[in-house]
Structures are given as structure tokens and as C-alpha cells.
Chains A and B, each alone.
Chain A
């Protein structure tokens, strides 16, 4: 089961590093969060304690908050540059 979590996480990472469109970036972050939550639940399964599941609950709550704020930022970004290229947001370079 951990292999599952690992592979999901890796897939999310690949997606994050590859896609330039911002919405995909956010999506892949969700994938990674989900994968790590899965790892926690796997741990809960292995040791037979509820703590892992509680942790997943918190991760879920956090993901919800993060998504809302992230999408709000996404909205702002969209207003400035309708082509949602994360590479063009490079004013902090140099």
C-alpha cells in the first residue's frame, strides 16, 4: 500500500514539475496531498491505531483551506495574465 502512496506521490510530482498551466499545478498539489494522506492511513492500518486516520482528517482540512486560497490567488493571476503560464511569473528572478 505504501507503494501505491509512493507512486501516486511521484506521479503528482512529475505533473507538478511538468505542467506550466497554473491550474494543473494546483491539481497536482492535490494529488500529492492525497498520496501523502494515503500513506498516513496505511500507517494507521499497519499499526492498528486511529492516529493515522486523524492525521488524514487534518490533512484534508488543510487541503480544503489551501485550495480555496490557492484558487483565489489563481483568480488574481488570471486577471493579470490570461495565459496562465507559471513561467511568466518570473519577476522575482535575478
Chain B
């Protein structure tokens, strides 16, 4: 069991690493799906089969597919390739990597002091999770449903094609506002977050 865990952990990390360095959007998404699969395996290993299934169905199955839908609908991948090449120079990775290293160091330190598991591994069946959901966490369920409802309504409203007047209004005011700049800070440089 432990071997499976380590292998899938390695796959997850590797896949994520590759995913974030791809230039083509669809490639990155596909690698991400691989990573999610690996994480699902990890879930299964540590006694959360229900969660593994959920991860696959919802995360990899719905959310990532949604991403793919949007990317393919807007045909982003092809067009963005050259731009991405320009943007992703090696120096770009410097500061975020440093920051992340710090973060990892700290969290590792914390995690190091965390203890070993208390007793034998307990595999949680869906039944147990269901009992917990309908018991103490019932309100969480209700709130989650509320959240999803608002997400639904918001997504519909925000994403719809604006009516003719709205477009004209926003286009006109955008045009006006785009002309007047004059702020001292440069906009849109090709360097990343250079704190230097």
C-alpha cells in the first residue's frame, strides 16, 4: 500500500509541475487531469474511497471538463502559444520559486512536528460519511447548496452575452477611459512581479 502511495504522489507532483509549465492550454489541462487522478488514488489508499470517487467525478470529471469546454470554445490554445513563449522566460520563475521554497520550508517544518497516525487506518465508507453529513454537518450541506445556487445564478448572469446597449455603453466608456492615462506606474510590462 505504501508503495502505491509513493508512486501516485510522485506522479501527482510531476504532473502538476509539467502542467504549469506548458504553453498550450489544453496540454496543461490534460496534465492536470492526470495529477488529479493520482491524487484520487492517494485518497483511496488512505481510506477515503468515497472521496476518491468524488474527486474523479466532480473535480476531474466536471470541473476540468468545464475548463476544457471553455478553452476549446474560445479557441485559446492555439492563439496564445506565441504570446506564452514570449512571456515565459526562465527568469520569470525566479521569484515565485524562491517564495514557494520559503513556504515549503516553513510548512515542512510544521509538518515535521506533526505526529504519526493514532491507530489503525480506518476506511470510511460512504455510509459513515453520509451519517456525518446528515448529522452534525447538515447545516454545511445546506450552505453548500446555497453556494451552488448562487454560483449558478452568478455564472449565468456574468457570463451571458450583454445586450446591445450595454455593449455600446461599456465600449464607449472603455474607449474614453483608455485614452486618459498618465499614471506614473508602467502598465503591462513583460517582466513579472519584479519587486526589485
Give chain A's interface residues, CB within 8 Å of chain B: 1-4, 6-15, 17-21, 23-24, 26-28, 30-31, 34, 38, 41-42, 44-48, 50-51, 53-54, 56-58, 60-69, 71-76, 78, 80, 82-85, 87-88, 90-91, 93-94
Of the candidates A42, A71, A87, the one whose C-beta lies within 8 Å of that of B66 is A71
Lowest 3 A-B CB distances belong to which pairs? A65-B151, A72-B159, A15-B20
Contacts of B12 in A (CB 8 A): 4, 8
Sample 28 A-B pairs with CB under 8 A, ordered by A number.
A2-B107, A4-B9, A4-B13, A4-B42, A6-B111, A7-B104, A10-B100, A15-B20, A18-B93, A21-B25, A24-B25, A27-B28, A27-B29, A28-B20, A30-B63, A34-B35, A38-B42, A46-B118, A61-B148, A64-B151, A68-B151, A68-B152, A69-B151, A69-B158, A71-B70, A72-B154, A82-B79, A85-B83
Residue of A nearest to B191 (CB): A87
| A27, B67: Cα distance in complex, Å | 8
Contact of B155 among A24, A51, A68 (CB under 8 A): A68
Q: Is the CB of A64 within 8 A of B148?
A: yes
Which chain B residues lie closer than 8 Å to A85 at the CB level? 83, 188
A interface, over-half SS: helix
Interface residues on B, range: 35 or more
Q: How far apart are the CA atoms of A61 and B86 in the complex, in Å?
A: 36
Secondary structure at chain B's binding surface: helix, strand, loop or mixed? helix
User: What CA separation (Å) do A63 and B32 show in the bound complex?
Assistant: 15
Tell me if A18 and B88 are in contact (CB < 8 A). Answer: yes
Report chain A residues within 8 Å CB of B103.
Answer: 6, 9-10, 13
Q: How many whole Å from B50's CB to the nearest CB in chain A?
A: 7
In the assembled complex, the Cα of A48 lies from the Cα of B147 at a distance in Å of 28
Q: Is the CB of A14 within 8 A of B93?
A: yes
Residue from the set B32, B108, B147, B155 with the largest chain A CB neighbour count within 10 Å? B155
- Per-position contact with A for B59-88: 1 when CB-CB < 8 Å, else 0? 100111011001100101001100110011
